[in-house]
Structure 1
Amino acid sequence: MAERVRARLPISAIVAVAITVAAIALLALVVVSARYPLPIVIGARRVPLFAGLTLSAALGTAAVASDPPSRHPSLVMPLRQRYLILLWWIGVSAALASLSFAAWKAWGVIAMFASLFALVKVLQVAGFIKQDRSVRVWHPFAAIMALFLAVAGIFAFVGRPNLPPPIQAAMVAYQDGRDGQMPASRPAPKVSATGLTLRASGDVDLGGLPATLFSYDDREGSRVDIYEADIGFPAPQGSVGVEDPAGWLLESYRLSLRTGPRGSNFLVVSWSTDAVDRIADALATQS
């Protein structure tokens, strides 16, 4: 007689508990990120990060609530149970893929390889669904194509332009209007000696990072944006470390972005590298 593996709880109860835990996790992430820019500190985009973490919480809860023998597929296990294990591994692969897509820091590469490993587990578990399948002529070609797509996906992932949302938002905002979303909560920095004239200011949500925008015109009438925040602005891929003052510099899409020393928490955006260097030096002396 086939051995029946029973869960500690009914499947419906496990699903209900997993959904409840996922909802609580999502609510906690939303509340915490509303008070503190957690995704920026972690180094990930908000929506795919929350999706991956919420799905991970649900899947982890389902695994803990189930009976240990029911987590490993076998041919003596009921077919429905094998399908549930298959769905669980598909969910794990999707959660890790969401986290790898969310990240702009190095840990995203780890999540990507973990997602590929979970995908291998999906194929392994799928072999327990119908054990009488024979290897057909097209299977090796499908495996070669899948390997090619996996390698191509890895190179596309590693080589993709991956700007942190605050940096991308600052570059887009430079081409748009100067108005902030709310009145400025910080006083304007004293940069008039550099030839800047303040045109607009206000608090903004800069890609998930609360900041204050001060938009200026220089002597030639060109725009210069200065952002100030409670934490430092994340360094994007392609930026270089600079000195006098210490910080990072990014030159991209005919724009120059510059930060200052640790703790100064400002970002200067302009069309000119010389301008951002000069203004960063003036801001650093005020910190």
Structure 2
Amino acid sequence: MEESTADLIRAQLRRLRVAAGLSQEEFGKLVHYSPSMVSAVETGSRPYDRSLLARADEVLRSGDLLVALLRIAEREGQPSWFLPWLDAERLASQLRVFQPTLIPALLQTEGYARAVIRCDDLLSDEEVERRAAARLDRQGILTRPDPPQLIAVIDEAILHRRDERFQGLMVHQVEHLIACAERPNISIHVIPLSVGLHIGLSGPFSLARGVDGGWVASQEAQLTARPTDSEADLATLLARWETVRNEALSRQQSIELLKEVAKSWT
């Protein structure tokens, strides 16, 4: 979702609340949010979701304005279930990403992103291009003036998917990872093949820490990515993060391994 759309939704939420004569505390009671959470959503330090906007439309008698704006955002690029995570990702001060099967989306080259998306043979060429462009747009958070710290842990097996058709693509992708890893706000850590089985093989997940220090997590599946800020879920995923991070090589060791892999591809 574009930043301007997210800001517009927040601005309309705040405008409607004030026009209704409701304080953040009064409004929060009606939509089952704490005053601090209402404030965080309105200022952009915490993401909103469809259920909040639907309740707000009902309470503020807005004629479904907020949900309609959300539908516009969905048509512009991303499914509704992914929007809360994109919002959390954009607002994060730190991102922790674990991927056992693919290069993380924020670190993919255009060619790699397009090849991965094209694996879904139900998508038209136009849809593939649209999704690839949207994925590259997400990466803009890493080059803005105040970028988040990105710590990515990947499994070495990702780097060794041998297919001669994609040799040039993989060389470029691994070289891109090396360049990213040498930037001050990005750390890439590789779990070597010698580790064998580990808890991370259960599936990918991401963690975003907002400017308020709160965490939001996302677990990816075939059809959805489930954002959550449940204390129990966060405790589990933060513990799993420590496990996979501890299994991985150091930053410099990982860069050296990536350089060896790049040579092997050439």
Query: What TM-score, normalized to structure 1?
Result: 0.27
Query: What TM-score, normalized to structure 2?
Result: 0.29
The higher relative CO (CA closer than 8 Å, separation ≥ 6) is in 2
Higher helix share: 2
